[in-house]
Amino acid sequence: METKNVILELRTKSGLSQEELAEKIMVTRQAVSRWENGETVPNTETLKLLSRVFDVSINTLLGEPRQLICQCCGMPLEDSQISKEPNGDFNEEYCKWCYADGEFKYTSKEQLIDFCAEHLATEDWPEEQVRAHMEAVVPKLNHWK
């Protein structure tokens, strides 16, 4: 979905007029109109404000141009799973289970892998397979490089 459609959809779902949204993020109504018509795209600082207003990631505002992956555990990320900084901004690098309130939960790869092997194992995906998968994936993630 294109940014123009995302902003329009989020604004209307929130029950905001263009004018009301403009007031919340300190821009003109015309700026909102230009975004929704696809004439322009909000700048980075405005995207951050829109992210806070709508409680969605910047990736979502931009039409999800890339699949976000937690750079600690490798889990694909949706907005509801993305971590947040202490100020409430999304941190699109990590899931909320690996990074919360400005702190990482796991202090070593081994600690993370042990937790995942224990808690993700199922009858169809035994603990040994989970462990082997995590041992192959985790070292390649930015947090552990």
**What is the tens place of the pLDDT at every residue in 109-127?**
999 999 999 999 999 999 9
Please state the rounded mean pLDDT for residues 82-90.
93
Alpha-carbon Rg for the chain, nearest whole angstrom, is: 19
pTM for this model (two decimals): 0.73
pLDDT value at 46 more than 90: yes
Extract the tokens encoding 20.
Answer: 């009301």
Secondary-structure percent of the chain, ordered helix, strand, coil, rounded to 5: 50, 10, 40
Going by pLDDT thresholds of 50, 70 and 90, the confidence category of residue 1 is: confident
What percent of the chain lies above the pLDDT cut of 70?
100
3-class SS of residue 95 = strand
